[in-house]
Structure 1
């Protein structure tokens, strides 16, 4: 059985005759007739009913024909994929995205990429703190979106583009706040658990940011776990505003207003790539479209 024989079967059924199939495939009628006979001989099944004026499928032939259409479609997809790769399109593009960044902003971009480059696999990894920068520096990703200070980025050979300013806000549940009727400063919370997301990168190893000396701590590996613990009243901490704005609006969480700590902090997010590296066409398109999220935050910089 060959794909060519299955194409002959498809053409005969869709066109309704050997002559029409011959014109469609640019093959002689005897060649098509012989190809169909060889197909039936290989399968050991009569696929076509030749008793009438018009060729039609036998009962077994109906089932075989449906499978043949599936195989031909898969073959077409395989050829398209091979052509896609031969023209230089990447098989896979990895983009590391800080969990602090609202993915909703990227959905329209991913939809464009999916439609235009259906055979390139986009692998999105979620990172925390310096994890996105680590993924770029260690060449685990082609692109990254990470929240970082500009001075920190200068220590790496990267091309960076500011794209959005995110807010993180210090919150706690009313249940926890009832234990502190006169809460004024962070030192009063030392015996409560500060919920801390661990860095998925290596650049702040053994460094605790925004944590006071002697503070009790619980560590989690994602913001959703942190939010759940904060909602329960077990602890408190900073969370991306987009993740908790409904909780604040509905009274499930309350912004912590302390005299010695900022309630809300603005953090700039960057899209970044390695300096001097030529990206493939799909990664380049991703870079260009994500860079356009820039809302007047600054020009592309090479650190």
Structure 2
């Protein structure tokens, strides 16, 4: 019965499995062998199963015993995490850190900061959400994320504290067999208008702000990878973050699309670390923000 089950009984069971005998488990736990035997007998009686075969020289785990040892390990690990979260909260650490990241944001620059966060707060539960364009800011506003690594278009709102981290360059590209790739000169607005432009849109407000539109025919996507698939297949042109297409350009699956001067991109996109002004970050959130700031300022 679960109400009569104790963590101590599970700890004894796991220790016997790890050390190979009741006497060795007793030495590790600082108990006499009779106390270990009594704990196991009590566990077997309450649960109504035989955990050890005692017919040989040494007790051996039964089949159900081996299965329950695995279950006991998981329960003990969960209990350890329970205690760690409580201890962290007493020390001023938030129970969890929820992060939201825009799909356009490159992962590589943030890996070192996230690794350092894990090493500094090893018991901190961290959750990530990556949705379509605008999803990270929406998570932040809804209170589902404490910190967002995201674009803020057209500019950060007054109720958001935003730290600029890096600039992301967008490059016009096209499949090499697309008619626009064969012009031999910079494409004008008249050249672009009959061809499809592949546009990344907010999945919630698809008719929301759009930037750098130059074609009369728009195919809108909320999935960045799906848009890349359509780009590689030659369905249209678009501006893509350089880090996402570097290999495709190097291997010839995409080629740069030269645009006339009046079609220049609206500027590099700025990636921010953002929080709501009225919701200060907890201890780990402040630590991560300071770490990001130090890395990118360097």
Is the pair's TM-score, using the shorter chain for normalization, greater than 0.5? yes
Partner of 1:66: 66
Residue deviations 1:4-32 (CA, integer Å, cap 9, x gap): 344445555627454x6555445555444
Following superposition of structure 1 onto structure 2, how do residues 169-184 of structure 1 map, counting pairs within 5 Å? Answer: 169-176=171-178, 177=180, 180=183, 183-184=186-187
Give the SS at the match of 2:264: coil
Give 1:178 shift. 5.3
| Unmatched 5+ stretches in structure 1 | 297-303
Task: Output the CA distance in 2 between the equivalents of 1:82 and 1:132.
Answer: 29
Give the SS at the match of 2:99: strand
- Give the TM-score taking structure 1 as reference length: 0.78
Partner of 1:278: 280
CA shift in 2, pair 1:22/1:235, >3 Å: closer
Give 1:75 shift. 2.8
State how many pairs are aligned: 285
Aligned-residue CA RMSD (Å): 3.2
Q: Is the 8 A contact 2:22 2:36 kept in 1?
A: no
Give yes or no for the alignment of 1:120 onto 2:125.
Answer: yes
| Unmatched 5+ stretches in structure 2 | none
Give the SS at the match of 1:122: strand
Partner of 2:138: 134
Task: Output the CA distance in 2 between the equivalents of 1:143 and 1:37.
Answer: 51
Partner of 1:78: 78
Residue deviations 1:152-171 (CA, integer Å, cap 9, x gap): 21x32222211111100111
Give the SS at the match of 2:281: coil
Give the SS at the match of 1:123: strand
Residue deviations 1:194-236 (CA, integer Å, cap 9, x gap): 111112465x844332224x71111111222222222222111
Following superposition of structure 1 onto structure 2, how do residues 147-186 of structure 1 map, counting pairs within 5 Å? Answer: 147-148=151-152, 152-153=155-156, 155-176=157-178, 177=180, 180=183, 183-186=186-189
Larger Rg: 1
Give the SS at the match of 1:164: strand
Residue deviations 1:35-90 (CA, integer Å, cap 9, x gap): 333344453537253765xxx124xx343443343233223212222122213254
